[in-house]
Amino acid sequence: MNENTSVAEITFTAFDFETTGLSPVSDGICEIGAVQFRNGEVVDTFQALTNPGVKISPDAQAVSGLSNEQVANAPEVGGVLPDFLGFAKDTVMIAHNAEFDMGFLRVALQKHSLPEIPNIIIDTQALAQKAFPRRRSYSLQALAEHLGVDPGSAHRALDDALTCMKIFNACVEQLSFMGDLPLSEVLF
């Protein structure tokens, strides 16, 4: 993808995972949410509960509200990942604190013998630091509050992906004061 292409001409996929804990090695993905958008407008959404193969920790349950019972009969994450990757194919992917989600994605892809993704990844946490310097917090919820974005059900994958999309759009608007913003201006 040409880095001089206008952000307005690119299809993006904002995504989020809910996990059983904080370690990509010993924990797993229990929910995937994603929203595909172009020029600030939603094109499509993807949401799936997955059976992570490990128990959801009490701390993770408290954050997401997801229980072991809710994911017990869901398909294994290895069965859902191909659908998610197909959904995000040929798009630039966006996540908030992307290294967290990408750590889980890399481990899950390797565990299920799936190929690594070729997509460009943008971290809205880093982008927000460029667009809105000197904030006290760059958490998804703090930025949503600062920007007046309704976070929906915070800490559920699809709602967090939608919030991530809205934060990305706000960052693009803030940084594009000189006209069209090329992709190179949102990459780090």
Is residue 161 a contact partner of residue 151, using CB atoms and an 8 Å limit?
no
- The residue whose two tokens read 């600030």 is 40
Q: What angle do CA 8, 94, 35 make, to 5 degrees?
A: 80
- Give the helix/strand (H/E) hosting 188: none
Cα angle for residues 101, 104, 105 (degrees, 5° grid): 85
Give the sign of the dihedral formed by CA 51, CA 75, CA 108, CA 33.
negative
155 classed as catalytic: yes
Cα–Cα dist 37/42, whole Å = 4
**What residues act catalytically?**
155
